[in-house]
Structure 1
Amino acid sequence: MPMTARIERAIARALALSQGGSAPAKLASALPYATQPGGARIRPTILLSVAASCGDDRPALADAAAAALELIHCASLVHDDLPCFDDADLRRGKPSVHRAYSEPLAVLTGDSLIILAFDVLARATVDHPDRGAQLLLALSRRTGMPGGICAGQGWESEAEIDLGAYHRSKTAALFIAATEMGAIAAGHAPEEWLDLGALIGEAFQVADDLRDALLDEESLGKPVGQDDLHGRPNAVCEMGIGGAVDHLSKILAAAIASIPSCPGEAMLAQMVSHQADKIMPAVPARYRA
């Protein structure tokens, strides 16, 4: 089965757990609204790619991990868009959840997706207790405090921001989770995969900064200029467009070089290169070497 179809099937199975019975209809419908259509699904793609490179001997467990990770990512987007944070009207080219459903339901949608992510992993843990427990720990570490995406959002309330810690938490954390969880699901040590996730996360942060500076709202599918509006650190502000593009190229090269030795090493390098090719077209040709 193609990886995209595998990811969508896993997410659909997860969402089915939140439907039916005596569930409140509006909140029940908001969960699939927040996750469909799914954008690039880059985090679960990385997770399954790492699992495949390590043998993927427990595909059902890898699928559950991929779905859980994407649910956490979607929850973070719902919360990011709230008026108390970005106050964004659009997400993936359609009204953000708080615009479509109301602010209270958006808060509950994000919360419900987070709980659902851990529900999905906990169910998979029954058949694979050792790996499942490691997956739960990896996801919780990269979601909460002190170094997960909650910490990343928290840095924006500080008078002085540690830029490295901010980017590692806000963007890289779930990419690190992707590489670590892919390895765990296939029975490999997660520590060897941390650098790859961190570098991919850094690359996507720089790429996001470039898109925020260079694209319009229609092309991006969400409001632009958010970093300037909210006074956040930004690679383009620090390095200029040309400097940020050069930095992005170096990070992507370092990411490929950091891939641990594994049976699928060449395939994984190809996947990272493919993701790089998807990033760079957003950058005007005059800024690329």
Structure 2
Amino acid sequence: MPLSHRINSAVLNALEIAQAAPAPGKLAEALSYATTPGGARIRPTILLSVAMACGDDQPMLTDAAAAALELIHCASLVHDDLPCFDDAALRRGKPSVHLAYSEPLAVLTGDSLIILAFEVLARAAHHDESRAAKLVLSLAQRTGMPGGICAGQGWESEAEVDLTAYHRSKTAALFVAATEMGAIAAGHDAESWHDLGALIGEAFQVADDLRDAVLDEESLGKPVGQDDLHGRPNAVATYGVDGAVSRLKDILAGAIASIPSCPGEAQLAEMVRLQAQAIMPKMPAKYRT
């Protein structure tokens, strides 16, 4: 079964839990709007790929972990787009949830998706209670404080920001969750998979900074120039365009080298290479040398 089918099926199954009667209609619709159709589903793809490289002996638990991670990611996008943060009009080429459904419903959508993520893991605990508990802990640590995506958003309110620390929590946290949770779901130790997730996450953030700086809104499917507009720390401001491109390539090479020894190591390395190609921005002509 293709990974995309596994992920989408798991997400849709999760939504059915939250949308069961007598759920309020508009909020139920907003949950689907925020999660489908999905973007690249990079984080759950990495999670499934790691689990498969480690044996994937509990696929139902793995699928639950993938759905939970994607729900958290989608929740973070809904909250990021709110007027109190980015005030973004577009997400994945369509109006942001707060414009499509109202700001109060957008807040409730993000909150509901976060809660649903942990409910999905709890419902899957009967497959392996010990692994499920570890999955809950990993996802909670990478979502909240002090080093999860909530911390990443919090860093934007600080007067001085360490770019590495900011990227580690803002973006890398859910990639660390992806590699850790993939290993946990397959019964492997999470710690040895931390570096792979951290490096992929850092690479993704640098790539996102580049896209924000050099692409247009039509190409990106969301507003551009947000880093400059909001005065956020970013790789292009720190390294320049050429320096950020070089930094991105170095990080991706390090990510491949960091893959722990496992039965599916070669296939996992190829997946990372494919993801690297996917996140590398197509630079406009004026930036090419």
Instruction: Report the TM-score when normalising by structure 2.
Output: 0.98
Aligned positions of 1:159-198 closer than 5 A: 159-198=159-198
**Aligned counterpart, 1:250:** 250
Structure 1 residues 285 and 274 mapped into 2: Cα distance closer, same or farther (>3 Å)? Answer: farther
Name the SS of the counterpart of 2:187 in structure 1: coil
**Aligned counterpart, 1:98:** 98
RMSD: 1.1
Identity of aligned residues (%): 77
Shift, 1:163, TM fit = 1.8
2:288 corresponds to 1:267:
no
2:276 corresponds to 1:276:
yes
Asked whether the equivalents of residues 30 and 97 of structure 1 are also in contact (C-alpha less than 8 Å), the reply is yes
- Please list the CA deviations of residues 124-168 of structure 1 after superposition, one character each: whole Å capped at 9, or x if unmatched: 112310000000000000000000000000111111112221110
Match for 2:3: what amino acid?
Answer: M
Match for 1:182: what amino acid?
Answer: G
**Aligned counterparts of 2:48 and 2:102: Cα–Cα separation in 1:** 34
2:134 corresponds to 1:134:
yes
Asked whether the equivalents of residues 143 and 149 of structure 1 are also in contact (C-alpha less than 8 Å), the reply is yes
Structure 1 residues 247 and 285 mapped into 2: Cα distance closer, same or farther (>3 Å)? Answer: farther
**Aligned counterparts of 1:222 and 1:66: Cα–Cα separation in 2:** 25
Structure 1 residues 195 and 45 mapped into 2: Cα distance closer, same or farther (>3 Å)? Answer: same
Structure 1 residues 151 and 281 mapped into 2: Cα distance closer, same or farther (>3 Å)? Answer: closer
Shift, 1:60, TM fit = 0.3
**Aligned counterparts of 2:237 and 2:281: Cα–Cα separation in 1:** 20
**Aligned counterparts of 1:234 and 1:153: Cα–Cα separation in 2:** 14
**Aligned counterparts of 1:121 and 1:280: Cα–Cα separation in 2:** 32
**Aligned counterparts of 1:187 and 1:61: Cα–Cα separation in 2:** 11
**Aligned counterpart, 1:203:** 203
**Aligned counterparts of 2:135 and 2:268: Cα–Cα separation in 1:** 21
Shift, 1:281, TM fit = 4.7
Structure 1, unpaired ranges of 5+: none
Asked whether the equivalents of residues 245 and 287 of structure 1 are also in contact (C-alpha less than 8 Å), the reply is no
- Please list the CA deviations of residues 95-128 of structure 1 after superposition, one character each: whole Å capped at 9, or x if unmatched: 0000000000000000000000000000011231
Structure 1 residues 216 and 284 mapped into 2: Cα distance closer, same or farther (>3 Å)? Answer: closer
Q: Which deviates the most, 15-24 or 30-39?
A: 15-24
Name the SS of the counterpart of 1:157 in structure 2: coil
Structure 1 residues 15 and 141 mapped into 2: Cα distance closer, same or farther (>3 Å)? Answer: same
Shift, 1:88, TM fit = 0.3
**Aligned counterparts of 1:41 and 1:20: Cα–Cα separation in 2:** 25
**Aligned counterparts of 1:281 and 1:150: Cα–Cα separation in 2:** 26
Asked whether the equivalents of residues 242 and 288 of structure 1 are also in contact (C-alpha less than 8 Å), the reply is no
**Aligned counterpart, 1:5:** 5
Asked whether the equivalents of residues 60 and 127 of structure 2 are also in contact (C-alpha less than 8 Å), the reply is no
Instruction: Report the TM-score when normalising by structure 1.
Output: 0.98
Name the SS of the counterpart of 2:280 in structure 1: helix
Shift, 1:288, TM fit = 6.5
Asked whether the equivalents of residues 118 and 136 of structure 1 are also in contact (C-alpha less than 8 Å), the reply is yes
Aligned positions of 1:77-96 closer than 5 A: 77-96=77-96
**Aligned counterpart, 1:29:** 29
